[in-house]
Structure 1
Amino acid sequence: MRVDDLYLTGIGSEVGALTPVAVPLAAGEFTTAEADRTGQLSTAVAALPGPELAVRAGREALRQAETVTGEPVWPMLCLHAGIYHAGIDFWHAASFVRDRLGVGAGPGLTLELGAMSNSVVASLDVAASVLRGRPDHDAALITAGDRFGAPGFPHWNTDTGIVYGDAGSAVVLSRRPGLARVRAIASYTDPSLEGLQRGDEPFRTASVTAHRSLDIRRRKRQWLGRHGGPAHVDSRNADGVTAVVKTALSDVGLDLPDIAKICAPHYGRRLVETQILRPLGISESRTMTGLGLRVGHLGASDQIVALDHLLRTGEAGPGEHVLLLGIGVGMTWTAVVLQVEPVPATA
């Protein structure tokens, strides 16, 4: 979908304090083999719960949007995401975030969008479609926040090839010019892969994570043993990655060499190679993997945290194109092509 008439007018991120890899190695929570395989140097660990991290990021995004546009931005559509427990059962985190940000009561929807690690990038697809079809909607606010940790989800050893980190992120999507123009968006779904994270797990009436940690590694082994091993997932993932990237780029007449940086999921180094670099035929230097190896996989926040870093450091300048690539278990893929505008990210 070619867009061109929507902009990211505000971006915010809140990342936990970094814990170096030496800490889990000394505690026996991470092995030297895993450290070598992932290349992980540290990960972000926060004291605040995910929704509070999202609120902090949201405040910065709304502040930037007001500075850039010259007036307060009131988002009629508020979307929120988290891939792990928000801290309270039977509760609506999206409304908490909206209320704490002072958006308050009014027309429009406040929703939680569940595309796992693709939630924020996929939300840009949803929000863009709403704004383009609803002239009465001027802006949308997208937030995400996750805090992992024991007992349910240890940062370092819950998953294979991925170390998780705590962060919140937020972005304001608007018709008014801002930090980056949205050029194109494309999404793709392959639900046949949902079992990769389910394995042989039975359906339960309550979560087990209050008493023991999730074992995503075991679930993956169970499912892969019946479905052709990792090569099957690698092939289907390559189909999804290439489909969304090629579609989004072709919609605006661009090719991969035209992209200054790619903000993709913060996997460990080996998974980045098999799931992102190899399908796209690019080198690690084209991505934000270096940042990911310091902060970890931040749930749904990887791409916005990386984009915020690029804009604040000037690594992506006016006129340059940046690609956001979201990959969510289930599985879904979304690509968003952005063009940086001549507005400082610290505005």
Structure 2
Amino acid sequence: MRWDEIYVESAAAEFGESQTGEEAVTEGLLPVEEWEKSRQRSVSVSTTRAAPELAVAAGRTALARSGRDPRDVGLLIHADCWYQGLEFWNTAAYLQDRILGHDDCVSYELRQMSNGGMSALENAAARLAAIPSTKAALVTTGDRFASPAFPRWSTDRGLAFGDAGTAVVLSRTPGPLRLIATAAYSQPMLEGLHRGDEPFLASGSESGVLDLVARKKGFMRGYSSEEVTTRNEEGMMSAVRSCLAEAGSDIQEMAVVIVPFFGARLSQFQCLGPLGIKPEVTLQEFGLTVGHLGAGDQAAGVAKLLEDDTLKSGDRVLLVGVGAGFSWTCAVLERS
């Protein structure tokens, strides 16, 4: 989809405290060889704030940076991957109340795993384009991968999970980044990679410690690694190619490419290699200090770009979202 006059006005990210990879190895949270492969220097760990509280903090900061009156925001979409602090409640309504404090807003939670923030951005752009009375939209993400249920350093291989809330304000008013194009693609045959051969349970209270490595092993008993790798790569590249075609751009023209904050080795295998790009054009070094932020990697990356203010007018940025399921959503932004 090619977009006209949709802008990112501001972005923000809220982090916890830093836990280093060396500390994780010393505490027995992961084997030293896995740490050496990922080169994950540290991750963000929230010891006191739940995921929605991190999202509230990021949302308030992004709104303040935009200079917007909260009543301008007519849409709030919250994306997440993991536990939001309570069962059977409305996270998006909580955020609407705590960040905006008014009733004249559509708010909802979107669950598309690590692709959720990117999918929410595309959905927000669609509402802004279709309903002129929506002056601005707020997209938030929030996840806290707390132990013991979620062993952030070892539940999966090749990456470590970090806690953060993020927020992006979009509108039709010219801002620092213009949304040029988006595209999405899905490959539902791969959903079993995160389900494995585990049975469905009656309630979350029956769940034990999350082990994504075991789930993937269960799924792979019925598929070849070559087939899964091919489908994964083709899915991402389909979304990327469509997005770049809509934007009239080539990936080599991108000043920055923001891919998920995986560990260095996994990022090379799943993202950089297929895309044909070097780590230097990405925010890999930043990602290796905060960890994979669930649905928030791309928004946190945009916030960092705006804070660092290193983009020149006309520079383009490619955002690549990848989510379990599997789904991919990409976007091209241009510095105003």
- For the superposition of Structure 1 and Structure 2, which TM-score range results when normalised by the shorter chain? over 0.9
Q: Distance in 2 between the 1:76 and 1:336 partners?
A: 22
The residue that corresponds to 1:36 in the other structure is 36
- Measure how far apart 1:252 and its partner are: 2.2
Q: Which residue of 2 aligns with 1:218?
A: 214
Gaps of 5+ in 1: 342-347
Aligned to 1:191: 188
Normalising by structure 2, report the TM-score: 0.96
Q: 1:12 matched to which residue of 2? A: 12
Deviations 1:136-189 (A, max 9, x none): 222111101111121110211111211000000000110011121000000011
Of the structure 1 ranges 245-254 and 53-62, higher mean CA displacement relative to structure 2 is found in: 245-254
| Selected match of 1:105 from 81, 100, 103 | 103
Q: Contact 2:259–2:319 at 8 Å: present in 1 too?
A: yes
TM-aligned CA deviation for residue 274 of structure 1: 1.4
Identify which of 321, 330, 334 aligns with 2:329. 334
In the other structure, the counterpart of 1:238 is 233
Please state if 1:258 is matched with 2:248: no
Q: Which residue of 2 aligns with 1:54?
A: 55
Aligned to 1:3, the other structure's residue is in SS state coil
- Write the distance in 2 (CA, Å) between the matches of 1:90 and 1:174: 31
How many Å separate the matches in 1 of 2:74 and 2:320? Answer: 26
In the aligned structure 2, how far is the partner of 1:317 from the partner of 1:75? 28
Amino acid at match of 1:213: V
Residues 4-153 of structure 1: matches in 2 within 5 Å?
A: 4-46=4-46, 47-66=48-67, 74-106=72-104, 108-153=105-150
Output the amino acid matched with 1:52. E
Query: What letter matches 2:161 in structure 1?
Result: Y
- Aligned-residue Cα RMSD (Å) equals 1.4
How far has the Cα of 1:208 moved from its partner?
A: 4.8
Counterpart amino acid of residue 120 in structure 1: G
Corresponding letter in the other structure for 1:268: G
3-state secondary structure, aligned to 2:255: strand
Matched position secondary structure for 1:273: helix
Q: How many residues end up aligned between the 2 structures?
A: 335
One of 301, 325, 330 as aligned partner of 2:296:
301
Amino acid corresponding to residue 224 of structure 2 in structure 1: G
**TM-score, with normalisation over the residues of structure 1?**
0.93
Q: Does 1:321 align with 2:316?
A: yes
Gaps of 5+ in 2: none
Q: Which residue type is aligned with residue 259 of structure 1?
A: M
Cα 1:293–1:277, aligned 2, differ >3 Å: closer, same or farther?
same
Residue by residue over 1:42-100, the C-alpha shift from the partner in whole angstroms, topping out at 9 and shown as x without a partner, is 11101210000000000011111116xxx556211110011100011101111111100
Structure 1 residues 11-39: Cα deviation after superposition (integer angstroms, max 9, x where no partner): 11101111111111111111111011111
Assess if the C-alpha contact under 8 Å between 1:74 and 1:103 holds in 2.
Answer: no
SS state at 1:127 partner: helix
Measure the CA separation in 2 of the matches of 1:5 and 1:332: 26
Contact 2:37 2:264 (C-alpha < 8 Å) held by counterparts: yes
